[in-house]
Amino acid sequence: MAEWERETRADYESKGFGVSSGFGTKPALLVVDFIVGFTDPTSPLGGDFSAELAVTAQLQTAFRKSGLPIVYTTVEYKEDLSDGGVFVKKVPSLGILRKGSPNCVVDATIKPLPGEKIISKNYASSFFGTDLDSYLRSQGVDTLVITGATTSGCVRASAVDSLQYAYHTIVVSDAVGDRAQGPHEANLFDIDAKYGDVINGAAVLDYLRSLANSGFSDAARNDFETWWNQGRKAQG
């Protein structure tokens, strides 16, 4: 932990920031903008998120085995970019995300299955101008586990709105990424202080296992346990 972070965290904690809000009883996985336009390092919007994609893929499998919802977001604009407003003026590179472009497709590493929800958005938050909240409520979700890119942009905006829509908000530290380390670290710190809990993928898997042992149908629980045990044997 950097010295600035250690000192700031101590100061924040003394003032009542950073208390864990924890998990609820039914989570969904929100994969924010892990699309080709962001995951291709040669893209003007891109970065190397291979490690974060690998953790997201593991969580994706765990959520599927648990029978829990997964939602993916993409960014797409009309050909004339008229639905991008000032955002595309501020960030002209967003013009590569016109509807139908391969840049708007979810990365093949975490390819959605048929029936898994994909939300198209125009701005940073996954909630703004979309049906995400109504979909989550229809599924009985009270906890949002967030992965994706970028930490300082769409991940942060989605985490803030997640809290404001009254969801337990979990940002997975090793499954979110940014184009630069400074904004990544600063925003994870700020999210953890004010808007949600920042934990790693292993902690989320532990939570899912506890749910599988207590809250799911026998079929879902057995499927998850089989997958979990196979993974542990492989690691050993």
**φ, ψ dihedrals at 212, nearest 5°:** -60, -30
Catalytic residue among 35, 154, 155, 176: 154
* Residue 122 near residue 81 (C-beta atoms within 8 A): no
User: What does the alpha-carbon distance between residue 63 and residue 55 come to, in Å, rounded to a whole number?
Assistant: 12
Task: State the Cα angle at 201 between 199 and 203, rounded to 5°.
Answer: 65
Query: Tokens standing for 138?
Result: 């229809």
**Closest listed residue to residue 128, CA positions, set 100, 156, 168:** 156
Distance between CA atoms of 94 and 92, rounded to whole angstroms?
A: 5
Quick check: helix, strand or coil at residue 118? strand
In Å, how far are 17, 115, 155, 219, 224 from 170, measured between CA atoms?
A: 16, 24, 11, 26, 21
Q: Specify whether 104 is catalytic.
A: no
> Which token pair is 205?
């898997």
Instruction: Give the residue numbers marked as catalytic.
Output: 154
